[in-house]
Chains A and B, each alone.
Chain A
Amino acid sequence: MSRSALEFHGVSVAYRDELVVEGVDASVPSASLCAIVGPNGAGKSTLIKAALGLVPLASGSVKVLGGSITAVRRDVGYVPQRESVDWEFPVSALEVALMGSYGRLGLFRRPGRAERAHAMDSLEQVGLAAFADRQISQLSGGQQQRVFLARALMQRAQLYLMDEPFSGVDALTEGAILRVLGELRQRGCTIVAVHHDLSTVRERFDHVLLLNKRLVAAGPVAATFTSQALQRAYGGRLAVMVDAAPGNAVTSAGH
């Protein structure tokens, strides 16, 4: 198997008659925590969907865990943006976590006792075991986000693709999510997350893709996440002093 968990080769994606991702060549090393960063409309979510095979490619190819997505789908976990979810749907937190096992179960087969135990474990990991029977809309935004993390954990994947896992969550949830992501990486999993908060990229991630339709820069955070690269990604609209004072100088830009 290759050393890269995820490779993009000249990937372009079009919606209707407009290119939203153009000729991206990049790779994400195994067992890394990678952030995809860029302004609004930069194609960050689209790039993740392209990796999952959820949008057709206009050109190029994607290698996931060394193969095509259809072959390794079971080893890829996905946490979509909050908008894709029907919050009024009648499911409990435990049932949402159980959905992580659906990919492995065939027709007519329902999740059994083993899956339920595992789903409870996953909820336990994100600190929500006590809320297993709550309907999903009765949880707070941060708790909902953690339930989705539990659903991804349920998949026992090697690669996790997350679309803004930290959007709209409080500090407590942020800490819980980060702890889980850290544990996953220790086990050799790769995490790729769309991320909006530039001030926290350095402390949370070790790899970064800077995107603005085209790839601006990619590589280890220390070497790649520089003010010049950010200027290029955000088109100079951003006064950045990342190098001077990491972690506090940059305020949110892409919201």
Chain B
Amino acid sequence: MAELLRLLSLQDSSTRVVMLSTASLAIAAALVGSLAMLRRRALVGDAVAHASLPGICLAWFVAGDRSLAVLLLGAFVLGLACMGTMALVQRLSKAREDATTAIAISGFFGLGIVLSRLIQNQPGGNRAGLDGFLFGKAASAVTSDAWLVLVVAGVVSATVLGLRKEFGLLCFDRAFAAGIGRPVHRLDALLLVLVAIVTVAGLPSVGVVLVVAMLVIPPAAARCWSVSLGTMLAVAAAIGAASAIIGTGLSAVLPPPGGASGGGWPTGPMIVLTAAALFVLSLLVAPQQGLLTAMWRRHRLRSSVQSSSGSMR
């Protein structure tokens, strides 16, 4: 308990930076994710995340460098390549978008597994560094990496907030936005690039498989609370930050499940589970559309219908 307090009060400087960077990344992801969800591109981030695995492997091959920045650059390049291929397939053929997304997710991940096995076969090749990307390990992040993530998250958030009006119009009525002369193609492309950036930046802490949760769950939760884009962005950012802080904190201070020898609680899943809990809470008690609220209203309606039809007879 004392440890948790120490962690949450951010007394330890390296913990402070790690926690700050994870939280700021969660905020950026929530902001970008809200727009992606409204633009019905919720799961594009998932394809990017899975495509980043072969990207990391290729960076390892090409650069022979294990610094996080280089590996993430490789992930970003392959993420963009993945989105480009998907867009091209969609444009050229009548193929179904959901099928294309699913195949991209699985196919790029398969390529990543193939490449990582090849790395393993090489002399001196060691997958330990790559395995960390599957499920994330924020708690052990290096301070310099944390600074990098912090800066990236800041830039992304600033971009979203700066172009809030334009993005809002794009999501709501693309044809109208084009009609009044907004560069809709470029805005669409920018949104996808932002998705790729936050996805890649989230890999070290949340991991390939779950990073899309940071893009999807906080906005979905915020949807329950808000009727306008502004409040939705604010609520999503708050829920994202809260999940990141609570999740990272829990995984750091809970006694490790596997005893001293086994690893600790996996950070990524703990963050995602915290976000999921906040989502369920939002779903139940949100004032406009909460499940409990709606059940109460429906109950009232049914009794009023029955009493009125009874009085008619």
Contacts and interface: CB of A to CB of B under 8 A. Distances in A.
Nearest to B300: A17
Contacts of A60: 309
A12 B305 contact: yes
Contacts of A59: 305-306, 309
A23 B308 CA distance: 10
A169 interface: no
A72 interface: no
Contacts of A19: 301, 305
Interface string A1-15: 000000000101010
A16 interface: yes
Nearest to B304: A19
A12 B312 CA distance: 13
Interface residues of A, number: 12
Interface in A1-60: 10, 12, 14, 16-19, 23, 58-60
B91 interface: no
B312 A23 contact: yes
B302 A58 contact: yes
B95 to A, nearest CB: 10
A183 interface: no
B305 A17 contact: no
Nearest to A58: B305
A17 B305 CA distance: 11
B40 interface: no
Q: Could you tell me the dominant secondary structure of chain A's interface residues?
A: strand
A203 interface: no
Contacts of A18: 301
Contacts of B297: 17
A14 B306 contact: no
B186 interface: no
A16 B296 CA distance: 11
B294 interface: yes
A88 interface: yes
B127 interface: no
Task: Determine chain B's interface SS by DSSP, over half rule.
Answer: helix
Contacts of B301: 14, 17-19
Nearest to A137: B94
A46 B306 CA distance: 19
A58 B94 CA distance: 42
B298 A17 contact: yes
A12 B309 CA distance: 9
A88 B294 contact: no
B90 to A, nearest CB: 14
Interface residues of B, number: 12
Interface string A115-153: 000000000000000000000000000000000000000
A232 B211 CA distance: 56
Contact of A14 (B305, B308, B309, B312): B305
B303 to A, nearest CB: 11
A77 B305 CA distance: 31
A49 B302 CA distance: 20
A14 B297 CA distance: 12
A14 B306 CA distance: 12
Nearest to A11: B309
Interface in B284-312: 294, 297-298, 301-302, 305-306, 308-309, 312
Nearest to B295: A17
Nearest to A60: B309
Interface string B188-214: 000000000000000000000000000
B96 A10 contact: no
Contact of B94 (A10, A14, A17, A88): A88
A17 B309 contact: no
Interface string B80-109: 000000000000001010000000000000
Contacts of B308: 23
B96 A88 contact: yes
A46 to B, nearest CB: 15
A10 B294 contact: no
Interface of B: 94, 96, 294, 297-298, 301-302, 305-306, 308-309, 312
Interface of A: 10, 12, 14, 16-19, 23, 58-60, 88
18 contacts: A10-B309, A10-B312, A12-B305, A14-B298, A14-B302, A16-B294, A16-B298, A17-B294, A17-B297, A18-B301, A19-B301, A23-B309, A58-B305, A59-B305, A59-B306, A59-B309, A60-B309, A88-B96
Q: Which 3 A-B pairs have the closest CB atoms?
A: A17-B297, A17-B298, A59-B309
Given A10-B309, A10-B312, A19-B301, 5 more contacts: A12-B305, A12-B309, A16-B294, A16-B298, A88-B94
